[in-house]
Structure 1
Amino acid sequence: MRHRSSTGHAKDLLSVASSRMILGLGPPVMTLTAIAAAITGYNEAVLTHALPLWMPLMQVSSLPFSLTAPALALLLVFRTTASYGRFDEGRKAWGLIVNRTRDITRQALTWTRSPDDYAHKVQCSLRHAVAFCYCLKDHVAREEDLNQG
């Protein structure tokens, strides 16, 4: 329920400022943005006659601005690829866990021989297999209380 709630988006948005990517790319991007905004503001002031007419319009090469775009695009691609890689590894690990849990359950069913101990032993082993999944979820999610699962 915690991962499906809409309040999780607010937490993610608040954590953007502490992101390593933002902290690493923030200063150069903000510097270029500030320079572009200052030049745009200056040119607008000259064109609207807020500054004296003898002041020239500033023209800046677009090269610094166009050089940052491929770097940001590559960074985004690498981050997306790394994120998908982590997701895929998690998906494979969960699939392996599901298959091994099914194997253990199948072995528990073949382990019991007589019908009188079938119910107790099988039910006990099946409860442990289910409990393993909940314990693993709580361990991965770092939740404190296993009784809440």
Structure 2
Amino acid sequence: MIVRSRPTLLRLFFILRGSIIKRVLPQILLTAILSSLVVLCHNLWPGVLPVFNGAPFALLGIALSIFLGFRNNACYDRWWEARRQWGVIVFSARHFARQTLILETTSGEAGAVARKRVLTLVIAFVQALVPHLRTGVGRGKVERLLSQDINARYDASRNPPEALSLEIARELADLRAKGMLTDISYQMLDRTLADLTLAQASCERIRWTPVPFGYTLLLHRTAHLFCLMLPFGFDDVLGWFMPFGTALVAYTFFGLDALGDELEEPFGRQPNALPIEAIADTIEINLREAMGEKNLPPLPVAVDYLLM
């Protein structure tokens, strides 16, 4: 995710980091070159290429803008819903740490050891969500937290975060059986664990349920056809300003289309994806601090305006 202050008006036109222009630059250049060739052909060999009335293109442009707006709203809704679910994970993990204080107050040193063991599994659960949702992320941050037997079950599972949630549930059940948790405290912790797993399921729904492909394909095709045919409708009106006009329209339409693609995958590795790795690291720092650890790493910060 791009994290930076709002630039000044002058710098606004020269920012590349986080801009979508790098992804759509080939399409912009293609439409500008095609437009230049159309204008040149009309000036040198009038009548060779057809000239159309620009009114239908204007109506099609309005319709295409509306469709792109609908798609981008749907993609942003996916992005925002994903951020909300990770907000639930942050809250539930911190709430779990507060609830487990009952172990220290009722069971002394044994309870403190049990609390640390359970919270370490919660940290591992959150860290396991990152490679589960984002491709190309290793499991090193998870495996360093687990014992050898739990690591084996974690590696063998087809849903690693779910395997760790079962380990947390097993620990809570064991603590209840030993009398270190009352029925009420056990139910509260189990309810918080359910909130964590519900947020996981919501993130999985977003990750593996994309925007319908036919809708995306329709907009891709229409945007390309519109920008490639645009020079034939307004050449007689704009003349040599036509390449600049088509490049600007192409930047708008192709940019909105590409931005929708990035927002559609909130757990991807694009610059506008959610910083789930940084959120998971922040949760780990918060829970380690709740366990009383002092030698904590610094909170994640953006590097070159990018926080992942």
TM-score by length of 1: 0.60
Quick one: distance in 1 between partners of 2:87 and 2:63?
36
Q: Deviations over 1:17-67 (max 9, x none)?
A: 9xxxx9xxxxxxx8xx979964x3443014xxxx7xxx6997531123212
Give the AA of the match of 2:54.
S
The answer to whether the 8 Å contact 1:101/1:129 transfers is yes
Give the AA of the match of 1:44.
N
Structure 1 residue 92: Cα displacement? 1.4
Quick one: distance in 2 between partners of 1:83 and 1:119?
44
Quick one: distance in 2 between partners of 1:86 and 1:107?
31
Partner residue in 2 for 1:43: 42
Partner residue in 2 for 1:26: none
Where do 4+ consecutive residues of structure 1 move more than 2 Å?
33-38, 40-43, 55-60, 142-145
Partner residue in 1 for 2:263: none
More helix by share: 1
Gaps of 5+ in 1: 23-29
Partner residue in 2 for 1:87: 79
Match status 1:13 vs 2:6: no
TM-score by length of 2: 0.32
Match status 1:71 vs 2:81: no
Structure 1 residue 72: Cα displacement? 2.4
Quick one: distance in 2 between partners of 1:81 and 1:137?
25
Quick one: distance in 2 between partners of 1:86 and 1:135?
21
Quick one: distance in 2 between partners of 1:64 and 1:42?
22
Match status 1:118 vs 2:115: no
Determine which of 83, 91, 95 is the counterpart of 1:99.
91
Determine which of 107, 129, 139 is the counterpart of 1:136.
129
Give the AA of the match of 2:129.
L
Could you say if the C-alpha distance between residues 36 and 103 of structure 1 is closer, same or farther in structure 2, counting changes exceeding 3 Å?
Answer: same
Gaps of 5+ in 2: 3-15, 143-308
Question: Highest Rg: 1 or 2?
Answer: 1
Q: Deviations over 1:77-124 (max 9, x none)?
A: 122211210111111111112222223222221134132213311211
Secondary structure (helix, strand or coil) at the match of 1:114 reads helix
